[in-house]
Structure formats: structure tokens, C-alpha cells
Amino acid sequence: MKRDSEGLAAASGVVAEVSDHRILTKIGEGGYGEVWLAQNRATPEVYRAVKVLYRRDLGGARPYETEFEGIRSFEPVSRQHEGLMQVLHVARDEEDAYFYYVTELADDQATGQDIDPGRYTPKTLRSELKRRGRLPFAESLEIGLAVAGGLSYLHQKGLVHRDIKPSNIVFVGGKPKLADAGLVTVPKKKSSSLGTAGYVAPEGSGAGCRCAPKARCAGRRAQDKMHFACVRRSRQA
């Protein structure tokens, strides 16, 4: 695999190559991957987000394949509903055991889609709650309806989102969207059960259950908790 100065240096030391994009700076990370700001090589004025996930961080081949199956299933669905963050490209590297996906970029917290790579901070529901505290009812309702619509569409397509929380609601062009596509999966008995304490439903994320109604119920309970965070001052993720 080609490795150059524009590659993405992961904690493991492996360099991930992202097709047609120049990696600029890391803008987020979690237990299962890192998110990077990228610039399109053909159209330099266009910026994207790239998330990279490594097999070694996912606990082996089976969960790695499960996560990859989930993002592959979500890619076409993501472009069919305005309440979902669009996935524009998915790829994997067999030699170094990672996959990545490219998505549209969230607004900058201060400048919207006028992106300055050196100062970029993504605008999320979490950042809005920290900056403003309790949101007005009408705005909370608008966000709730957008997220509910995207979540409902996911369920119609047989997919579940395992981590609905304020930091996974982003704004693109001022519109709220459900993000972190890496946590979308097909409900299976062996699916990894992920989520964030304080938002995950008591019965779990629903990912490890083949029963579609139970998986949908878990997603809706997490959504209810996220909505509650909109109308009170919250420091949760």
C-alpha cells in the first residue's frame, strides 16, 4: 500500500490512505475510531469528514466485519433521507486491516459552511447545549422531528443506530442530522452492543437482538433521553 506524507497516522502506527482526499487535521475520536478533516483533491474548496476504524480496535475479525457490513448497508440509505448524515464513500484495506468512510462535513460552530481548517470546530447539539444551555421549545421540537424522521427511516430499512446522543446530532447547512454512521448496524445476535451511559436504553442498544420491534424501541428510548437533554442544562456527551 502506498504511504506518503499526506497519509493518516493512526495510534497503531499504520498509515491509512484516503482516496481523492488530503487529510488535514483530527477533529474527533472515540473508542472505535478517529475522525479527520479532509480536503477534496479535485475541488479544494470542498471539505469532508473521514472516519477510520481498525480491526485491532474492534476486538477481532468478527466485530470488524459486522461494523463494515453496517456501514456498507447504511451508505445508500444515508443519501435517501434529509435527517441522516450522508456517507459519500466507503473503502477498506485488507493488508493493514482498516476501513474508512467519507461523509459530508458538519457546519463550523461559528462560521457554518465557511470552513477554515485551522480553526474548524464542528457544530453539534452537544456544542449548542454547552454554549446556550436550555434550547427554546420550538427549536428542540425541530431537532427532535428531524432526528425521529431519520431514525424511523433507518428502522424501515432494517438498521439501528446504537448511540443516539447530543454529540451525534450535527448541523449541516443549519439543519440537524443524525451522525456517526459507524454505529449503525443490522440487528443480529452477535452484533456488538455499544452506546453512551446516560443515553442508551436500559435493555441495551438493540443491536444484539434480531427482534426488530425491540431494536426500534431501544432507539426510541435513547432518542427520548436525548430530547430531554435539549430542554434542560446538560453537560453530558
* pLDDT digit string (tens) for the chain, length 237 residues: 444 435 554 444 445 788 899 999 999 887 678 899 999 999 999 999 999 999 988 888 988 998 899 899 999 999 999 999 999 999 999 988 899 999 999 999 999 999 999 999 999 999 999 999 889 999 999 999 999 999 999 999 999 888 888 999 999 999 999 998 756 777 665 544 454 454 445 544 444 445 455 445 544 554 455 555 555 554 444
Spatial distance between the Cα atoms of 81 and 12, rounded to a whole number of angstroms: 35
Q: Which residues pair with 21 in a beta bridge?
A: 40
Query: Which residues, 6 or more positions from 45, have their beta carbon under 8 angstroms from its beta carbon?
Result: none
Count Cα atoms within 13 angstroms, Cβ side, for 12. Answer: 16
Rounded to two decimals, the pTM is: 0.76
- Here the cell at position 144 is 427532535
* Nearest residue to 163 (alpha-carbon basis) of 100, 106, 222, 234: 222
Torsion of CA 124, 130, 133, 135, to 10 degrees: 0
Spatial distance between the Cα atoms of 13 and 128, rounded to a whole number of angstroms: 34
